[in-house]
């Protein structure tokens, strides 16, 4: 679903490092596809390869799209500031109104309701205790 | 119309104030009770934590309905030229969000359950298990585990993998556990607790209270399924470990639930093997805990009977509204 994809990108956006965030901001401000060279001018002091690697990382994270023009790639954002605002507002409303994934936990009573904490070593130890207890009950004739 | 609107905003603000105060009180109460609650019987714990979860919302609603509303109706002249200021409007809006959040979150939980159930039932066969007393479905594909669904009409959904892994006695013990959940209407209580409005659900304290309740409900279902029989306890413990081995890795959002106090498999299996599920809390500890639950409710009821205090509270509210 497009909304979900937007939400995923928003989560990625929230985890960006300072340089990545700056790059996304600049691409947004420009409102048109940018090349590595264009961006390097705005990020004075940074090496061409640093800017190129950062853009490539953002492309791989799904935040930027790119197309080739001549010999260079041109980058643009996959999520617009408007979409970002909309998704943030939706998330806030969802959180306020209890429509988060956490609150949508199914109403089910399970035999083992607490998955995750049971690692293999613990289960083996519990099985050993069960065997011992079984043996003890057998000896006691219960 | 403005008179009613201002009155409604006063009531909403009263709800928020008392809800927050009672939430703070719960933090103090749980600190007082401390880890002592872990030594109570499962049924004592499940009752206590359900009451704790409901308390702030109940106190808030009672305060609005018995103190703020009547105080406004008695003391505010009909022709008063009061208006809803920005602060009062903001607090009232916050109250509406808090009031709506609980029921809406319960609704999303119910819808999530329905979706999951439909997915499972599409690949299920009805299993003949008259000893269970309600329909049992065997899921052919996927890793459903062992789940009791349904709020009023229970149905058990079990993966073929889990059924095959259990011996007949272990299966009987596991069915007994689910029957106990059904008899206590745990899914309905779960829905009720999720639907409780108020600020508590937004806090880590609220999540802790819910986890403690889930843990106590599991332990209580274990206790009822075993019925004091050490042999049945061993079989149930064995079934728990086998089903845990089959369990899929938890979804990301369920990680918090894995740190459940007495609900974790380690504690449950050890309690079953030690046979200490029927211990009872000392009367004094119980009295302190329940007195702590009743204090805010009794305080609200007492306030509502004293017209002088109601008047003072109304004046205080008016003063605050004018000031902000």
- Are the Cβ atoms of B234 and A133 closer than 8 angstroms? yes
Return the structure tokens found at B151. Answer: 């709020």
Question: Which residue among B109, B190, B254 places its CB closest to the CB of A103?
Answer: B109
To the nearest whole angstrom, how far is the Cα of A88 from the nearest Cα of chain B?
17
- Closest approach of A91 to chain B, Cα-based (Å): 14
Mean pLDDT throughout A16-28?
85
Whether residues B101 and A107 touch (CB distance < 8 A) is answered with no
Tens digits of residue pLDDT in B4-59: 888 899 899 999 999 999 999 999 999 988 777 878 888 889 999 999 999 999 99
Residue A126 forms contact with B (CB below 8 Å): yes
Mean pLDDT (chain B, rounded): 85
The answer to whether residue B191 neighbours chain A at the CB level (below 8 Å) is yes
Least confident of A116-130, B191-205, B304-318: A116-130
Residues of B in contact with A97 (CB under 8 A): 97, 100-101, 104-105
Instruction: Quote the tokens at residue A23.
Output: 């790059």
Comparing C-alpha atoms, which of B165, B185, B177, B179 is closest to residue B132? B179
Q: What is the ipTM of this complex?
A: 0.73
Using CB atoms within 10 Å of the CB of residue A15, give its burial: 0 to 12 exposed, 13 to 18 middle, 19+ buried: exposed
List alpha helices for B63-125, DSSP H: 69-75, 86-122
Cα–Cα nearest to B303, from B312, B290, B315, B294: B312
Domain positions in chain B are 2-323
With contacts defined as CB-CB under 8 Å, which chain B residues touch A113?
A: 214, 218, 257, 260, 263
Residue A138, chain B, CB below 8 Å: the answer is no
Query: pLDDT tens digits for B133-160?
Result: 899 999 987 766 788 888 889 999 998 9
Query: What integer pLDDT is reported at residue B202 of this predicted model?
Result: 86
Q: B217 or A30: which carries more pLDDT confidence?
A: B217
CA A9-A15-A17 angle, 5° bins? 120
Cα→Cα distances B291→B21, B49, B55, B208, B298, Å:
17, 14, 12, 21, 10
pLDDT (tens digit per residue) in A36-78: 988 888 887 888 999 999 999 889 888 888 998 888 899 988 8
**Residues in B touching A109 (Cβ below 8 Å):** 147-148, 178, 181, 186-187, 190, 217, 221
pLDDT top residue among B55 and B304: B55
Domains of chain A plus CATH, in order, are 2-79 (1.10.10.10)
Q: Give the per-residue pLDDT at B257.
A: 28
8 Å CB contact of B254 and A103:
no
- Find, among B304, B172, B40, the residue nearest to B313 by Cα: B304
């Amino acid at each position: 679903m497009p909304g979900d994809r937007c939400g995923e990108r928003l989560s990625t956006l929230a985890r960006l490092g300072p340089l990545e965030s700056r790059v996304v901001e600049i691409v947004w401000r420009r409102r048109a596809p940018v090349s590595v060279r264009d961006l390097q001018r705005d990020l004075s002091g940074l090496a061409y390869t640093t800017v190129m690697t950062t853009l490539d990382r953002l492309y791989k994270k799904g935040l930027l799209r790119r197309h080739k023009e001549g010999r260079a790639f041109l980058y643009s954002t996959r999520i617009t500031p408007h979409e970002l605002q909309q998704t943030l507002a939706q998330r806030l409303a969802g959180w306020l109104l209890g429509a988060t994934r956490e609150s949508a936990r199914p109403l089910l009573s399970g035999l083992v309701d607490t998955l995750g904490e049971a690692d293999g070593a613990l289960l083996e130890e519990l099985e050993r205790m069960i065997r011992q207890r079984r043996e003890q009950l057998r000896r006691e004739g219960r | 119309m403005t008179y009613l609107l201002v009155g409604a905003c006063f009531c909403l603000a009263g709800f928020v104030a008392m809800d927050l105060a009672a939430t703070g009180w719960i933090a103090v109460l749980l600190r007082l009770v401390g880890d002592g609650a872990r030594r109570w019987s499962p049924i004592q714990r499940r009752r206590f934590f359900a009451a704790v979860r409901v308390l702030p919302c109940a106190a808030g609603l009672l305060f609005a309905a018995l103190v703020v509303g009547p105080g406004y109706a008695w003391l505010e002249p009909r022709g008063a030229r009061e208006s809803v200021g920005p602060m009062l409007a903001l607090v009232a809006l916050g109250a509406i969000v808090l009031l709506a959040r609980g029921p809406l979150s319960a609704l999303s939980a119910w819808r999530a359950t329905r979706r999951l159930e439909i997915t499972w039932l599409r690949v299920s066969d009805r299993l003949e298990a008259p000893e269970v007393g309600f329909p049992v479905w065997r899921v052919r594909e996927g890793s459903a585990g062992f789940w009791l669904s349904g709020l009023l009409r229970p149905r058990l959904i079990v993966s073929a993998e889990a059924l095959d892994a259990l011996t007949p006695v272990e299966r009987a013990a596991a069915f007994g556990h689910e029957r106990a959940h059904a008899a206590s209407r745990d899914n309905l209580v779960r829905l009720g607790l999720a639907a409780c409005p108020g600020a508590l659900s937004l806090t880590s304290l609220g999540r802790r209270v819910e986890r403690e309740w889930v843990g106590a409900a599991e332990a209580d279902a274990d206790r009822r399924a075993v019925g004091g029989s050490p042999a049945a306890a061993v079989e149930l413990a064995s079934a728990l470990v086998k089903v845990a081995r089959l369990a899929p890795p938890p979804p990301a959002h369920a990680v918090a639930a894995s740190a459940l106090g007495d609900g974790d498999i380690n504690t449950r299996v050890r309690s079953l093997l030690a046979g200490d599920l029927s211990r009872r809390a000392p009367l004094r500890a119980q009295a302190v805990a329940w007195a702590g639950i009743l204090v805010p409710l009794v305080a609200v009821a007492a306030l509502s009977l004293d017209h002088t205090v109601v008047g003072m509270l109304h004046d205080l509210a008016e003063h605050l509204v004018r000031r902000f």
